[in-house]
Amino acid sequence: MTTFVWLIIILFLLMILVAGKHGFKAFIGLIINLAAIFLLIILINWQFNVYIVTVAISFIILAVSIYLSADNQEVTNHAFVASLIVLLAVVLLIIPINYLANVQGFSSESSEELEGLLLAVGLNFHRIAFIVTVIASLGAIAEASMAISADLHELIESTPDITNANLYKQGNIIGAQIIGTALNTLFFGVLGENLTLAIFYIRLHYSFAQLINGKLLVAAIIDLFIAMIGVLLTIPVTTWIVAHVHAKKNKLQN
């Protein structure tokens, strides 16, 4: 517990030193999002509708993550709208994928820890898997939408007469630069989290068939791919929103 507290203090001090007021706002946002996750757990435990609660909490997390990260309201508004559209697409994608993959619940590797525990907890693990996959993708979606929106607005401010075609082109260029780092961040995050599991599989000489049918590994890969798809969808959606609003403004001015 002491180590945990010290890590929080170090994180807070570094955020203040590096980013000043924005760092403080980001830290407050982190606390709010953590509280939102706890609220999600409580509401699910009280048997509230999983899909409604997850979408509502995701809405809060995206709003906090985006609106506390920048002062330009136009940038944050466009990023938030894009994030909501991508969130809806991701939710519609997750529901059938989780159903077909059938990776919900506990795996055989967890049997020793669960021995002697009551497993009839009255929860639908299909829906729990849905929650985990949605929440895991939110950070990457919010980050990508903010990066695209902020860069495109800077471009519009420096060249107000830029055409929509050029704006789309620049959006694709910016997106291509973001994709590499965003996907690597997601990949190495999942790899680091599951490195012990990978060593476990290797040492026990798991066959390829066992690997692709293992719940833990497949669930991690699904979470990774869904988050990657979310990032890839965010780039064209955010670019389209910014370009659409810019075109409407130009029409009104003319």
- Of the ranges 35-44, 126-135, 212-221, the best mean pLDDT one: 35-44
For residue 253, is pLDDT > 70?
Answer: no
* CA–CA gap between residue 37 and residue 61 (Å, rounded): 9
* CA–CA gap between residue 217 and residue 233 (Å, rounded): 24
Mean pLDDT over the full length of the chain: 84
pTM for the predicted model, two decimal places = 0.85
DSSP 52-91: HHHHHHHHHHHHHHHHTS-S-HHHHHHHHHHHHHHHHHHH
pLDDT band at 4 (very low <50, low <70, confident <90, very high): confident
Q: Which stretch of 77-81, 154-158, 203-207, 229-233 has the lowest confidence by average pLDDT? A: 203-207
Give the CA radius of gyration of the chain.
21
Q: 147 by DSSP, 3-state: which?
A: helix
| Domains within the chain, CATH numbers bracketed | 31-113+121-253 (1.20.1640)
Instruction: Please classify residue 167 by burial: count the beta carbons closer than 10 Å to its beta carbon, then call 0-12 exposed, 13-18 middle and 19+ buried.
Output: buried
Tokens (6 digits) for 254: 């003319």
Report the percent of the chain where pLDDT is more than 90. 30
DSSP 177-223: HHHHHHHHHHHHHHHHHTHHHHHHHHHTT--HHHHHT-HHHHHHHHH
Tokens (6 digits) for 164: 């929509």
Q: Of 172 and 56, which is predicted with more confidence?
A: 56
At 45-72, the pLDDT tens digits run: 888 889 999 999 999 999 999 998 887 8
